[in-house]
Each structure stands twice: as structure tokens, then as C-alpha cells.
Amino acid sequence: MRNNDCVVVVLAAGKGTRLKSALAKVLHRAGGGSLVEHVVRAAMPLKPRAITVIVGHQAEDVAAVVEPLGAETVVQQPQNGTGHAMLVAKRAIGRAKIAIVIPGDAPLVRTETLANLLRTHRNGNAAATILTAVLHDPTGYGRIVRRGDGRVTAIVEEKSTDEEARQINEVNSSIYCFTLEKLWPALAKLRPNNVHRELYLTDAIALLNQQDDAVLAEVAPDPHEILGCNTRAELAEVDRLFRARKRAVVMEAGVTIYMPQSVLIDPEVEIGADTIIEPSVHLLGKTRIGARCKIGTGSILTDTVLGDGVTIKPHCLISASRLADATAVGPFAHLRDGAVLLERAKVGNFVEVKKSVLANGVKAMHLSYLGDARIGAKTNIGAGTITCNYDGRQKHPTFIGKRVFIGSDSALVAPVRIGDGAYVAAGSTITENVPADALGIARGRQVVKPGWAAARRRESGREGHRDTEAHRKRRIQKRKSRSRKPRSRKPRKKSSRKKSRR
């Protein structure tokens, strides 16, 4: 597909008043991307001579999204309507023959649909070809007015509709092909005859029709594709449709998804066959998942790569990490910022791993923090192990060798090295290197006091005996009589309380 005589013009300068947002409309996100980004990506495979995005509101932010995709931008300031936006783009469009126009807030449109529209336009030698859709509820959209023979005569905007036009279910998608030598003269004749005092691109359609130029309309086979995002409700609906579309592709490729409505998968995510995805999983960014994996309920994976046969138990948060084949993580684990698990490494519940490499077969099954660490093959990290990687100013590394045993509740104060095959005794605070095959032990010695507990029980038993029912009544009586007496000015003597026994 190559369309050297075409430009794609994306209309993305508007504010999006109806969203009631500080963020420009086309920067709102649905289906894992900003609206304008989806539109540009749909246009890219057409290989036009240029993709020109009309920017205005938050122009720099919009440019920052589309320029890396290879689009160019033209600033429209102020925004005097969709017709005005095209006029502003005229110089940038230069000598192209055909413009494919797409609004920046209709992100569901597919490349295939754009290509079909262009084909219709070329074959029909048309001045304009409109992509339309038949909607159950056409409220808010411009209506397509056709003559008896079916020819399009005009587009009537919602605000200008009369009772008759309101009944029309065929709407304007705002996606068009224009033959530019016909469009420019028509745009020159536009007048802002509407409540917003704007130049409407839709009015060019009536003008072209009046001068007997061919105006064609093609009905989109899937009306959802043209949905715009003028309101938060429409944004949510578009997001829902995007998600459903991606899940359908993934399932088609051999992935099982239980309760698919609850699962979010971003557009660029790839998943291998026979992987099972449980409810309420989010797979985001550039995540890639191998074959035969299992992703437990409630887990969220962002920009993470999984090999084959990986098990993610429920409720794990994993970002920017790499997990090799047959690794297992969770439940309730947090892997982030460059955590790397080599084959068969296992991370269990309430373990956080940051910027660390766990070599083949490492196990860290319970309640640990492993940060800035390199851990050799087959090492066992006991429950509650902490790498103390931060001294309040800087981060420091921890190196743990192969087949090391770190006893439970050990604190490894970095920078520190534990040699291959070494042991660290439970409860140690390790501040110095432990050589290979050595034992590092750093904790207070245990003291045993024979009979101490029994003696304590005997003593507290005697005290308890004194607190009889009679004692209790007398205490209450005393308190009452004290509160009846008028307060004396002198400070009362402090009662000498008995020291509590240990």
C-alpha cells in the first residue's frame, strides 16, 4: 500500500469542552493509548506522502505524541472550526492530490476502512467521499441528507437539525477523502453561519454538491468504528470496544481468558498460545508473554517479558522486568525496575524485587526485599531477608554467590558480598563480607534462665488472689465518697504506686 498522491490530515486542535477536562481531548486515553496516537497509527500503513496533525490546544503535548510516529504538525490558533483547520493546513499539504481527513477523537477507525474509503473515492472520481455510519442513537453527530436517488446533498449539524433531520440515523464520521483541487475553492466560500461562528468542513459538502461535483458516501460496515469521544461516557464506551477488539485477537491466537470483560490488554501486548489469563488481569505497555503461562487473577504486568511456562500467582504487580522460562512469582509479589529472574527462579508471597538478578533456581519465597542485588544459581533466600541497599544518600549493591543459604530475618547491609556456598545464620545483620563456604553469624547470644517463667507465674498468682470481690466493692465505695467531697485547694498527695513487677 503506497499512496504518494495523498496526505492524511488529522484534526486535533480542539479543546474538547464537553469532556470538562484540563487535558486536551485528543490526549485522553482509551484502549491503552491516547486518542490521537490511535488515529495516527491507523493511518500509517497507508503510506501517504505525509501525515499532518492540526494542533492547537496543548499543541506541544500533542506534537510530542505524534511526531515520534513520523507525523508533522501544523498549529491552528485560534480554532475556528474544522473547515478553518483544513485551510490552516493548506500550505503544509502542498501539492498532494487527495486528502484523507480524520478527526483526532475517533480512534477506533481501522486502516482497512480508510483504504476502502480511498478506493471508493478514486474509483468514483469523486470530489468528496464521506465515511458514514448508521447509528441506533445518532445524537450529537452531523446527519447525512440524501436526495431521492441516494446522492448526498448536505450534512446537517446536530444544532441545526429540524424535526425531520433529527430522524436521520445515518451520520457523518468526519472521516473523508477530498480531491484537493475541488476542496480548496469550496473552502474559500465557507461562511460561519452557525451558533459557534465557526467554519464547518461539513458545509463544504453542500457547496460541492451544489456545483454538481460528485459527493459519495460509504457506510462503515461496523458503525462502532466511527465513534467519537466528545463526552466521558463516549470515552468509556470507546475504551470498552478497544479492549474487546484486542481480547478477540488474543483469544483467536490461542489464549484462554476467563471473564474476558474484566481483562485489559494494551494494543502492543503479545501473548503465546495456551497461556491462561484469569479474571481482572491487566497486561500493559509492551508486555510480551510466552506460551503456556498462567497469569493469576488481579495481577498487573507492565512492560514485562515472560518466557514460556511462567506462573504468576494472583495479585502480583510486575513492571519493567524479565522472567525466564518456568519461573514462578507470587501471590502478592512486587517486581519492578529491571528485576530479572532466570530459569526456574521462584519468588513467593510478599517479596519485592528491584533491579536485581536472581539466577537459575533461586528461591525467595517469603516476605523479603531484594534491591540492587545479584544472586547466584540455586541460592535460598530465607523469609524476611532484606538487602539494606540505601544508606540515606546512595544505593549500594549486594552480591550473593551460588548455592548460598541466607537464614530467615537477615539484614544484608550493602555494599556486601556473600561467597559461593556460604551460610548466613538466621537473624543476622551482615555488615562485612562472608567468604565462600563460611558461616556468617551476627546476632546477640541467647541467654536461658531456668525456672524463670514458673516463678513469675507463682508471683502473679499471689497478687491476683488479693483482688477479691470485697476489695473491688471497697474501691468503688471510696471513689464515690471522694467525688462527693468539695475539692480542696491543696494539691492532693500523690499516692505512692507500687512499681509494676516484671
* Residue 330 partner contact from ligand UD1, Ca ion, none using kind-dependent CB cut-offs of 5 to 8 Å: none
Helix (H) or strand (E) holding 353, with range, is strand 346-354
Helix (H) or strand (E) holding 348, with range, is strand 346-354
Looking at this protein, which amino acid is placed at residue 171? V
174, 209, 297, 387: residue in contact with ligand UD1 (rule CB under 6 A): 174
| Closer by beta carbon to Ca ion, 230 or else 262 | 230
Per rule CB under 6 A, is residue 79 in the interface with ligand UD1?
yes
Pairing of strands 143-146, 152-156: antiparallel
Q: What whole-number distance in Å separates Cα of residue 251 and Cα of residue 428? A: 50
Q: What whole-number distance in Å separates Cα of residue 480 and Cα of residue 275? A: 74
Per rule CB under 6 A, is residue 275 in the interface with ligand UD1?
no
Per rule CB under 6 A, is residue 82 in the interface with ligand UD1?
yes
* Residue 54 partner contact from Ca ion, ligand UD1, none using kind-dependent CB cut-offs of 5 to 8 Å: ligand UD1
7, 26, 104, 105: residue in contact with Ca ion (rule CB under 5 A): 105
| Closer by beta carbon to ligand UD1, 158 or else 308 | 158
Min dist CB 195 to Ca ion, Å, is 16
Min dist CB 12 to ligand UD1, Å, is 5
Helices (H), 176-228: 180-188, 201-210
- Which string of DSSP letters, residue by residue, matches 443-465? SPPP---TTHHHHHHHHHHHHHH
* Residue 430 partner contact from Ca ion, ligand UD1, none using kind-dependent CB cut-offs of 5 to 8 Å: none
Q: What whole-number distance in Å separates Cα of residue 278 and Cα of residue 263? A: 8
36 burial (CB, 10 Å; 0-12 / 13-18 / 19+) is: buried
Min dist CB 180 to ligand UD1, Å, is 18
**Residue of closest CB approach to ligand UD1:** 142
Min dist CB 272 to ligand UD1, Å, is 37
Contact pattern from residue 230 through residue 259 relative to Ca ion, giving x for each residue in contact according to CB under 5 A and a dash for the rest = x-----------------------------
6, 7, 9, 12: residue in contact with ligand UD1 (rule CB under 6 A): 12
* Residue 48 partner contact from ligand UD1, Ca ion, none using kind-dependent CB cut-offs of 5 to 8 Å: none
Per rule CB under 6 A, is residue 225 in the interface with ligand UD1?
no
- 186-191 long-range CB contacts below 8 Å, 24 or more apart? 186/211, 187/83, 187/86, 187/87, 190/83
# binding residues, Ca ion (CB under 5 A): 3
Cα separations in angstroms, 363 against 118, 344, 416: 58, 9, 20
Per rule CB under 5 A, is residue 198 in the interface with Ca ion?
no
Q: What whole-number distance in Å separates Cα of residue 132 and Cα of residue 130? A: 6
Q: For residue 407, what are the contacts with CB-CB under 8 A and spacing of at least 6?
A: 382, 423, 424, 425, 426, 427, 428
- Which string of DSSP letters, residue by residue, matches 126-155? -SEEEEEEE-S--TTSPEEEE-TTS-EEEE
Per rule CB under 5 A, is residue 228 in the interface with Ca ion?
yes
Kindly indicate which of the ranges 11-19, 265-273, 287-295, 476-484 contains the residues binding ligand UD1, using the contact rule CB under 6 A: 11-19
3, 58, 76, 428: residue in contact with ligand UD1 (rule CB under 6 A): 76
| Closer by beta carbon to ligand UD1, 89 or else 358 | 89
Contact of 159 with 194, CB cutoff 8 Å: yes
104, 330, 348, 382: residue in contact with ligand UD1 (rule CB under 6 A): 104
Q: Bridge-partner residues for 51, per DSSP?
A: 8
37, 105, 266, 372: residue in contact with ligand UD1 (rule CB under 6 A): 105
* Residue 175 partner contact from ligand UD1, Ca ion, none using kind-dependent CB cut-offs of 5 to 8 Å: none
Q: What whole-number distance in Å separates Cα of residue 233 and Cα of residue 235? A: 5
Looking at 224, 315, 366, 396, which residue is catalytic?
366
Kindly indicate which of the ranges 102-110, 343-351, 434-442, 487-495 contains the residues binding ligand UD1, using the contact rule CB under 6 A: 102-110
Cα separations in angstroms, 440 against 95, 106, 381, 424, 427: 77, 64, 14, 5, 11
* Residue 141 partner contact from ligand UD1, Ca ion, none using kind-dependent CB cut-offs of 5 to 8 Å: ligand UD1
Q: What whole-number distance in Å separates Cα of residue 311 and Cα of residue 211? A: 66
Q: What angle do CA 69, 71, 72 make, to 5 degrees?
A: 145
| Closer by beta carbon to ligand UD1, 3 or else 172 | 172
* Residue 298 partner contact from ligand UD1, Ca ion, none using kind-dependent CB cut-offs of 5 to 8 Å: none
Q: How far is CA 349 from the centre of its chain?
A: 24
Binding to Ca ion (CB under 5 A) within 366-385 occurs at none
Per rule CB under 5 A, is residue 352 in the interface with Ca ion?
no
Short-list 123, 116, 162, CA closest to 143:
162
Is 28 among the residues known to form the active site? no
- Residues labelled catalytic: 366
Residues near ligand UD1 (CB under 6 A) are 11-14, 25-26, 54, 76, 79-82, 84-85, 103-106, 141-142, 155, 157, 171-174, 200-202, 228, 230
Residues near Ca ion (CB under 5 A) are 105, 228, 230
